[in-house]
Homo-oligomer: A and B are copies of this chain.
Amino acid sequence: MPANKTALVISAHAADFVWRCGGAIALHAALGYDVTVLCLSFGERGESAKLWKQEGMTLDRVKDARRAEANRAAEKLGVHDLVCLDLGDYPLELTREDKNSVVEVIRKVQPRFMLSHSKYDPYNTDHMYATQVALECRTIAQAWGHNPGEKVLGAPQLYLFEPHQTEQMCWKPDTFLDITPVWDKKRAAIECMEGQEHLWEYYTRVAINRANHFKRIRWPVRWTGLQIRRRLRVDLPAYRR
């Protein structure tokens, strides 16, 4: 394999990568991957309720606050590069030019695998739109005739985050990742999301319960953290087993 292993996360809003694949990022960073996180928006309009309740809030101030939180969280997780395209949210909508920017990032990173949202999400249409964009831009990045001369993309697998309500979103896990060794980093990143403190315990419970699922379907031997690794589709911390 090549020396520089890379991965790319495409996150609709600035905080999504933390809740949904923070452990996957931290674990791959620990394994020597350069993980790039691409935030299409800051979630400034739709996912910043607490900020908007403050007196005299403006869109720019919200964006600044969200960017700062995302930066701190990225640092905790060992993110190699955090790219914020600031394309607007609720609704997230990309022009042809915006998509070209996404393609440019994909080609530059040349990811070994990609991560994004679930295919369907009736409660948050930005999420499913981001996945549609990820698929479309992956296709474009593979075209020899798109900016001829650039290095075209191979065929990286796209893994889908565990969404908020799996059953409603037609999402079924088929890849688990034991993030026990990096759980503290994920929790630290989660705690950077000061505006959404009510979700800290929620996502910790999700992690613990999914670990219970994981234990039920695998060989009951001791896993030694990073050595025996699996490819991931979801962030499934086996928290303090």
Contacts and interface: CB of A to CB of B under 8 A. Distances in A.
Interface of A: 1-2, 44-46, 48-49, 52-53, 57, 59, 62, 89-91, 93, 96, 99, 112-113, 122-126, 132, 135-136, 139-140, 142-146, 148, 152, 154-158, 164-168, 171-174, 202, 205-206, 208-209, 212-213, 215-221, 228
B45 A144 contact: yes
B124 A139 contact: yes
Given A49-B152, A90-B145, A91-B139, 16 more contacts: A1-B221, A2-B221, A45-B145, A46-B143, A46-B145, A52-B145, A52-B148, A91-B99, A91-B136, A125-B132, A125-B135, A126-B139, A154-B218, A154-B220, A156-B219, A157-B217
A153 to B, nearest CB: 9
B90 A140 contact: yes
Contacts of A154: 218-220
A124 B143 CA distance: 11
A7 to B, nearest CB: 11
A114 to B, nearest CB: 11
Contacts of A124: 139
Classify the interface of chain A: helix, strand, loop or mixed.
loop
A145 B212 contact: no
Given A155-B218, A205-B209, A220-B154, A90 B171 contact: no
A13 to B, nearest CB: 11
B146 A136 contact: no
A26 B53 CA distance: 39
Of listed A89, A93, A142, A145, residue having the most chain B CB within 10 A: A145
Contacts of A158: 122
Closest 10 CB pairs of A and B: A45-B145, A46-B143, A52-B144, A154-B220, A90-B143, A167-B172, A125-B136, A205-B205, A49-B144, A45-B143
Contacts of A152: 49
Contacts of A123: 139, 155, 216-217
B218 A157 contact: yes
Contacts of A143: 45-46, 89-90
